[in-house]
C-alpha cells in the first residue's frame, strides 16, 4: 500500500513535467527566449523525456520494499543510459524527478530495517554519497577517461606519448621541487610562529589572530602582486639590490618568486595547524621532563617535537598541495619556470586547447598529491600521539631554551616587518598612477573599478562572487556537519570507503578539480558548463573539509550520553540532531560558515576554468587585469577584497562575542 506521502512524491515529478523544462536550456532559464523554454518542456512533443517520468508510476505494482528498490535502481539506469545515448541533458523538471526517487528510495530502505530503519540517517548517508560520488568521484573518472579513450577507442598510447615528453619531465621536477621547498619552509616558519604565540608571547598574542586572518582574506596571487611591487623590475628592493650588489633585475621571476610568494601566503596556514596542536599538549608532560633533569632543548627534541609530528605532517601536506595546485602565482612570477598547474591552465585556455594533454598533466598532479597524502596517512596512522587522559591541566607551559627564544623572536620580527611593507605596498600601489614610475596620488584605479555603475567595471564580478559565496557557504557547512556526524556517530558497512571519498576533497588539487569539472559536466546528460550552479558546486566541494574538520572537533566535545538520553525519551534521531546536536555545534557551524564564505570569495584555481563573461568572479577579474598588464586595477581590486574580507571576519567575531555575552 502507498501512503499519502508516497503518492505525493509520485505526483510531484509529473506536475514538474507539465510545468518545467525537462530538457536543459543552454542559455539558462532567465536568458532563454519563450520559444526555447516551450521547446524544452517535455510534453509538448514526442521525445525521450517521456521515458524519464511516466514509468515511475509503475512502482505501484511492486509490493515488497526490495522489489521497489530494484525497480528504482533499474529506472535510474534507464534514465541515465537513454539520456547519454540520445545526448539529451537534464532540465529543471528532472530535479523534482530525482528528488522523488531519492525520497522513495530512502523510504523503502528504511522499511527493510537497515540502519534500524532510521529515515534521517539513511537519507543523510544517501545524500552525502550522492554528492561525493557525483561531484568528486565522477569528475575524477571523467578526467581519467579523457586520457584512455581517444576517438571512442581505449588506448594508452597518447598518454604515454605525452608523459614521455622531455619538457613534461622537466616541468614535473620543477613543480615538485618548488612545492616541496614551499612545504618545508612554510612548516618551519609556521612552527616558529606557533612556538612564539604559545610558549613565548605574553602581551603580543594578537599576532596569533593576525596570522590566522591573513591567509584567509588574501587571494592567493595578491601576495604575488605585492611581491612584484616590492621586488619586481621596478621594485624598491630590486632597485637597492641592483645599485648595491649589481644583481640581475629579473632575479625574482622563476623559482625564487614562486618560492617567496607561496611561502608568504601559506605559512599562516601552517601556523594555524601547528598552533592548535601545541595548545593541546599538556604542560605536565614538559614539567615531568624537567623534573627528570632534562634541559629545555632536550625537552623540545624528545617531547614536544615528536608530539607535533601529525600537525607538522598536516601542515606540510596542505602547503605542498596548495603550492602544487596554484597556477596564478607562477602565472605572475614564474617567468620561464614552468610548473604543472600553469601548464594545465595554458593548455585549457590557449588559442588551441588540448584537453588530452591538460588531463594527463592533471592526473600526474593528482597522483603526486595522493602519494603525499597516503605517505602521511601511513606514517601517522601506525603511531599513537594521544596526550589527553581526562585529567585537569592546571600547570603553565615551561619556557623554551633562551637561544631558541631569541632565534624565533628575530625571525618573527623580520617576518612582521616584511609583511607590513608588503601589504602596505599593495594598498599604496592602488593609489598611485604607476608603481615604480609615477607615484602621484590618484583614485583612477578605484574609479575605473567601482565608479562606472553596477553593470560595469569590477562591480558585476564582485556581486557575482558575493552571491556565489553566500549560496555555497550554508551548503558547505551543512554537508560538512552531516558527513562529520555520519563518520563519528554512525556505524555502517562501507564506512571506510565513505571516509576515503570524503578525504579526497582534501587531497585533490584545485587545478585538477577545475579540469575534472570541465571534463565531467560539459556534455549530456549533466550539462552545467557556463552556469552559476557549477561554480557554486565547485566552491562547496573544495571547502567541504572545512565544515567537516570544524564539526568533527565540535562533536568530539559532545558527550554521546546526551544523544542516548534523548533516544531513551523516544525522541527521533532527526529531532535529536536538530535540537541537541546542532545547537551545541553552533560555534563550529558558524566558524565553518564564515570560513567557507571567505574562501569562496578568494578561490581561484578550481573555478578559473568554469567562469564565463556572464559568471565572472573577483579573482578571475583580477587575473584578467594582470594578463592585460593593468597592475593598478589588479592591486586596487585585491586591496578591496582584503578590506571586505576583514570586515566580514570582524563582524562575525562581534556577532559571536555578542551571542557569548
- Domain ranges in the chain? 1-112, 165-215+267-420, 430-661
Specify burial of residue 47 (Cβ count, 10 A radius: 0-12, 13-18, 19+).
middle
Label each residue of 388-415 as H, E or C: CCCCCCCCCCCCCCHHHHHHHHHHHHHH
Pairing between β-strand 432-434 and β-strand 153-154 as defined by DSSP bridges: unpaired
pLDDT of residue 387: 46
pLDDT of residue 96: 96
- Alpha-carbon distance of 562 to 543, in angstroms, equals 29
Question: Angle at CA 628, nearest 5°, toward 626 and 632?
Answer: 55
Kindly report the number of other CB atoms within 10 A of residue 451's CB atom. Answer: 14
Kindly report the number of other CB atoms within 10 A of residue 201's CB atom. Answer: 16
- Alpha-carbon distance of 320 to 175, in angstroms, equals 10
* Positive/negative CA dihedral, 362, 368, 371, 373: negative
At 410-441, the pLDDT tens digits run: 998 898 888 888 889 889 999 999 887 888 99
Q: What is the CATH number assigned to the segment(s) 165-215+267-420?
A: 1.10.3720.10
Backbone phi, psi, residue 124, to 5°: -65, -40
165-215+267-420 and 430-661 share one fold: yes
User: What is the distance, to the nearest Å, from the Cα of residue 169 to the centroid of all Cα atoms in its chain?
Assistant: 28
**Cis bond leading into 525, ω under 30°?**
yes
Q: Which residues of 263-291 are buried (b: 16+ CB within 10 A; e: fewer)?
A: bbbbbbbbbbbbbebbeebbebbbeebee
pLDDT of residue 660: 54
Kindly report the number of other CB atoms within 10 A of residue 244's CB atom. Answer: 8
pLDDT of residue 384: 45
Q: What is the pTM of this model?
A: 0.86
Q: Strands (DSSP E) along 181-281, which ranges?
A: none
CA distances in angstroms from 13 to 9, 101, 524, 661, listed in the order given: 7, 9, 21, 48
Residue 285: which of 270, 304, 261 has the closest Cα?
304
- Alpha-carbon distance of 132 to 136, in angstroms, equals 5
- Alpha-carbon distance of 564 to 659, in angstroms, equals 28
Q: What SS3 state is found at 32?
A: coil
Q: What SS3 state is found at 493?
A: coil
Residue recorded with cell 571547502: 543
Grid coordinates representing 636 are: 586596487
Q: Which residues of 63-93 are buried (b: 16+ CB within 10 A; e: fewer)?
A: eebeebbebbeebeeebeeebeeeebbbbbb
- Alpha-carbon distance of 323 to 344, in angstroms, equals 14
pLDDT of residue 1: 52
Residues of the chain below pLDDT 70: 1-3, 151-152, 205, 208-209, 211-213, 215-216, 220, 283, 286, 289-290, 293, 296, 351, 377-398, 656-661
Q: CATH says 430-661 is which class? A: mainly alpha
CA distances in angstroms from 70 to 62, 77, 106, 579, listed in the order given: 10, 11, 13, 35
At 243-286, the pLDDT tens digits run: 888 888 889 999 999 999 999 988 888 888 888 778 777 767 76
What percent of the residues of the chain are helix, what percent strand, and what percent coil, each to the nearest 5?
A: 75, 0, 25
Specify burial of residue 623 (Cβ count, 10 A radius: 0-12, 13-18, 19+).
buried
Amino acid at each position: 500500500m502507498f501512503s499519502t506521502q508516497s503518492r505525493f512524491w509520485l505526483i510531484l515529478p509529473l506536475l514538474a513535467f507539465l510545468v518545467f523544462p525537462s530538457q536543459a536550456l543552454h542559455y539558462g532559464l532567465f536568458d532563454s527566449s519563450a520559444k526555447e523554454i516551450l521547446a524544452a518542456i517535455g510534453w509538448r512533443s514526442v521525445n525521450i523525456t517521456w521515458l524519464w517520468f511516466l514509468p515511475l508510476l509503475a512502482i505501484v505494482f511492486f509490493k515488497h520494499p526490495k522489489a521497489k528498490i530494484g525497480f528504482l535502481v533499474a529506472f535510474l539506469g534507464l534514465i541515465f543510459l537513454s539520456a547519454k545515448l540520445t545526448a539529451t541533458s537534464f532540465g529543471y523538471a528532472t530535479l523534482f524527478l530525482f528528488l522523488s526517487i531519492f525520497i522513495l528510495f530512502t523510504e523503502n530502505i528504511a522499511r527493510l530495517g537497515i540502519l534500524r530503519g532510521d529515515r534521517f540517517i539513511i537519507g543523510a548517508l544517501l545524500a552525502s554519497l550522492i554528492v561525493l560520488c557525483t561531484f568528486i568521484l565522477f569528475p575524477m573518472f571523467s578526467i581519467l577517461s579523457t586520457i584512455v579513450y581517444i576517438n571512442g577507442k581505449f588506448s594508452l598510447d597518447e598518454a604515454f606519448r605525452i608523459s614521455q615528453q622531455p619538457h613534461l619531465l622537466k616541468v614535473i621536477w620543477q613543480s615538485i621541487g618548488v612545492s616541496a621547498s614551499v612545504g618545508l619552509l612554510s612548516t618551519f616558519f609556521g612552527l616558529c610562529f606557533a612556538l612564539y604565540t604559545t610558549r613565548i608571547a605574553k602581551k603580543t598574542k594578537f599576532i596569533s589572530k593576525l596570522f590566522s586572518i591573513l591567509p584567509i582574506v588574501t587571494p592567493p596571487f595578491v601576495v604575488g602582486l605585492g611581491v612584484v611591487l616590492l621586488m619586481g623590475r621596478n621594485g624598491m628592493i630590486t632597485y637597492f639590490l641592483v645599485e648595491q650588489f649589481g644583481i640581475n633585475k629579473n632575479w625574482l621571476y622563476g623559482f625564487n618568486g614562486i618560492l617567496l610568494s607561496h611561502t608568504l601566503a601559506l605559512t599562516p596556514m601552517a601556523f594555524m595547524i601547528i598552533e592548535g596542536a601545541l595548545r593541546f599538549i599538556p604542560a605536565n608532560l614538559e614539567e615531568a621532563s624537567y623534573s627528570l633533569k632534562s634541559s629545555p632543548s632536550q625537552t623540545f627534541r624528545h617531547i614536544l617535537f615528536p608530539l607535533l609530528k601529525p600537525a607538522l605532517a598536516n601542515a606540510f601536506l596542505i602547503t605542498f598541495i596548495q603550492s602544487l595546485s596554484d597556477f596564478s602565482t607562477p602565472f605572475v612570477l614564474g617567468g620561464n619556470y614552468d610548473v604543472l598547474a600553469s601548464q594545465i591552465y595554458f593548455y585549457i585556455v590557449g588559442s588551441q586547447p588540448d584537453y588530452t594533454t591538460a588531463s594527463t598533466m592533471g592526473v600526474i598532479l593528482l597522483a603526486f598529491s595522493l602519494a603525499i597524502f597516503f605517505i602521511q596517512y601511513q606514517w601517522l596512522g601506525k603511531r599513537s600521539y594521544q596526550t589527553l587522559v581526562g585529567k585537569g591541566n592546571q600547570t603553565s607551559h615551561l619556557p623554551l631554551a633562551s637561544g631558541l627564544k631569541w632565534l624565533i623572536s628575530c625571525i618573527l620580527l623580520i617576518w612582521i616587518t616584511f609583511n607590513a611593507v608588503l601589504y602596505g605596498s599593495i594598498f599604496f600601489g592602488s593609489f598611485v598612477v604607476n608603481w615604480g614610475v609615477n607615484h602621484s596620488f590618484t583614485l583612477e584605479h578605484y574609479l575605473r573599478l567601482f565608479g562606472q555603475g553596477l553593470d560595469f567595471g569590477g562591480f558585476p564580478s564582485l556581486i557575482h562572487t558575493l552571491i556565489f559565496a553566500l549560496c555555497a557557504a550554508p551548503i558547505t557547512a551543512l554537508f560538512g556537519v552531516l558527513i562529520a556526524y555520519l563518520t563519528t556517530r554512525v556505524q555502517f558497512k562501507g564506512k571506510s570507503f565513505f571516509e576515503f571519498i570524503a578525504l579526497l576533497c582534501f587531497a585533490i588539487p584545485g587545478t585538477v578539480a577545475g579540469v575534472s569539472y570541465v571534463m565531467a559536466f560539459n556534455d549530456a546528460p549533466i550539462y552545467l558548463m557556463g552556469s552559476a550552479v557549477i561554480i557554486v558546486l565547485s566552491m562547496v566541494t573544495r571547502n567541504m573539509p572545512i565544515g567537516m574538520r570544524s564539526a568533527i572537533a565540535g562533536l568530539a566535545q559532545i558527550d554521546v550520553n546526551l544523544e542516548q538520553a534523548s533516544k531513551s525519551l523516544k525522541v527521533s534521531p532527526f529531532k535529536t540532531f536538530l535540537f541537541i546536536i546542532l545547537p551545541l555545534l553552533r560555534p563550529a557551524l558558524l566558524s565553518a560558515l564564515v570560513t567557507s564564505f571567505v574562501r569562496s570569495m578568494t578561490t581561484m584555481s578550481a573555478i578559473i576554468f568554469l567562469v564565463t563573461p556572464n559568471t565572472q568572479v573577483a579573482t578571475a577579474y583580477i587575473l584578467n587585469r594582470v594578463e592585460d598588464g593593468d597592475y593598478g586595477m589588479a592591486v586596487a581590486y585585491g586591496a578591496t577584497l582584503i578590506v571586505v574580507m576583514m570586515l566580514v571576519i570582524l563582524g562575525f567575531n562581534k556577532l559571536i562575542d555578542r551571542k557569548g555575552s
